[in-house]
Structure 1
């Protein structure tokens, strides 16, 4: 690392002291600010600059591009820019600079992470596992219903007995924004719900309408559902950590894979915008690509480094 001139070092030290003494930031936060600013200053030093005022918006954009090339994601770069913006606000106050080059520079958008899903065989294995006690009968009914109808966790724990319509074979769900939707319930989920409701009568207090109850007879909390699903996975041999949204994601992916009907899956999930549902088309393509690679004897897709003639691509 090149040696820093005092004209860069001294304002940075004053800024960190300002954060520590005036803004009452923790030592941990101050360390992060200092690291971010030092990372900005190093290329200035290497370019022979001696003052923070020599950084302009074009130089800052080059710095952001370098951070991206080094592998930092959008959120990390946004944090760097926040630190730089704050630093230059301090320098403006101290009349060390005339403007803040970070005001109009934005971090690149982070790529959306694809939701994880479980494959059909694993879910069948988990849901076909025999419950060991009354609470596991309740648990299987919950998990069957999430996977059968694609419920959110909040929708599941908010269900009342009156939301089930056994004659029509559906469930009424109160979703985001207070919107109600009617969802079909599969045969195996209905059977699991019937098994649970026979036991539920013994736990429910007077007038309790919640569909899913704790051992104390109260409405089950979201945290309890998460803990019970994690426990179910451990006891029944899941090969990944189970959580309620994994079942909802798996419902959506498997429905789209089988039907190809994006609009229908959007309605079932209760998404206001179809772009939210479109993430599952990427999951579906990944599945199809894996099947293609695994199954077709002469159609293995090229790896990114292979050229069209079968040799190595030129650098």
Structure 2
């Protein structure tokens, strides 16, 4: 039934390839555990104690809580599918609880440091240099996810309206306004890209040879440039998304507007950025108030 389930989430739920791989990996690991520990031929007949035993074994292996919770979520989805298909009559996941997570504050780059990087750094006057600059400006200027930027296509850019159309998780689309500066960079870059690769693909951000860019290359580009601007531990594309949201909030943007720009399904996911804003207010208070 695992193969049927994977087809279900791929074609009916339209999960991303990354999510599909995660589901498959989790279920295969669970299947292996059941076979080894209980000589159980398939997960369909697993009981609550067996599932709990697997979770305990993961914790004992020092797996982090978020990783374990992802596997629990996989099993929840899988057993709901089995119920729907009448393969089982009761859900063994009903009593299973997710592990408690500590919630570290999102890391972000200081506004002055990032602006100095983008305004004064001498990006090479080459296609690669122009691409790298646009990549950094696009991630920070729109707050889009890594996967969303990789999949962004030229047809998604509306120069007349000054917006881009982004396809996010579960193929949900949203419209994000872009600044005149970023729109100018996009327009100039796309013209140069068309001249260099007239028969190239329609994706906006491409490699030096005109192919669709890939995650590891984006990570390398972002880290290379953030190394010049910050000493924070994480220097990844997602940090620029956090920075986008934090800077907007610090400038007084409405939380609901930030939620829509980020493509969050609920306000709870966006509220984490208020903690960073509160920290800034505390620092200002301590520095400025005579009785602080």
For normalisation by structure 2, the TM-score amounts to 0.64
Alpha-carbon distance in 1 for matches of 2:152, 2:143:
14
- Say if 2:225 is the partner of 1:232: yes
Q: How far apart are 1:191 and its partner, in Å? A: 2.7
- Say if 2:167 is the partner of 1:174: yes
Alpha-carbon distance in 2 for matches of 1:288, 1:177:
36
Provide structure 2 residue ranges, at least 5 long, that are not aligned to the other structure.
1-32, 38-55, 70-94
2:265 is matched with which residue?
A: 272
2:21 is matched with which residue?
A: none
1:257 is matched with which residue?
A: 250
1:198 to 180, 191, 198: 191
1:303 is matched with which residue?
A: none
Q: 1:152 to 1:274 in 2, by over 3 A?
A: same
2:111 is matched with which residue?
A: 120
Q: How many residues align?
A: 212
Q: 1:294 to 1:253 in 2, by over 3 A?
A: same
Alpha-carbon distance in 1 for matches of 2:64, 2:239:
25
2:277 to 274, 284, 305: 284
Structure of higher CA gyration radius: 1
* CA contact 1:127–1:144 (8 Å) conserved in 2: yes
Q: 1:219 to 1:203 in 2, by over 3 A?
A: farther
* CA contact 1:74–1:110 (8 Å) conserved in 2: no
Provide structure 1 residue ranges, at least 5 long, that are not aligned to the other structure.
1-18, 24-31, 37-71, 80-103, 300-315
Q: How far apart are 1:260 and its partner, in Å? A: 4.3
* CA contact 1:203–1:216 (8 Å) conserved in 2: no
* CA contact 1:205–1:218 (8 Å) conserved in 2: no
2:123 is matched with which residue?
A: 131
Q: Which has the higher contact order (CA 8 A, sep 6+)?
A: 2
| RMSD, matched Cα | 3.2
1:178-207 deviation line (CA, Å, top 9, x unaligned): 111010001221232234223212432515
Q: 1:106 to 1:152 in 2, by over 3 A?
A: closer
Alpha-carbon distance in 2 for matches of 1:179, 1:146:
19
For normalisation by structure 1, the TM-score amounts to 0.60
1:142-177 deviation line (CA, Å, top 9, x unaligned): 111111111000110101111101111000000111
- Say if 2:131 is the partner of 1:148: no
Q: Tell me the SS of whatever aligns to 1:131.
A: coil
Q: 1:204 to 1:105 in 2, by over 3 A?
A: closer
Alpha-carbon distance in 1 for matches of 2:118, 2:183:
13
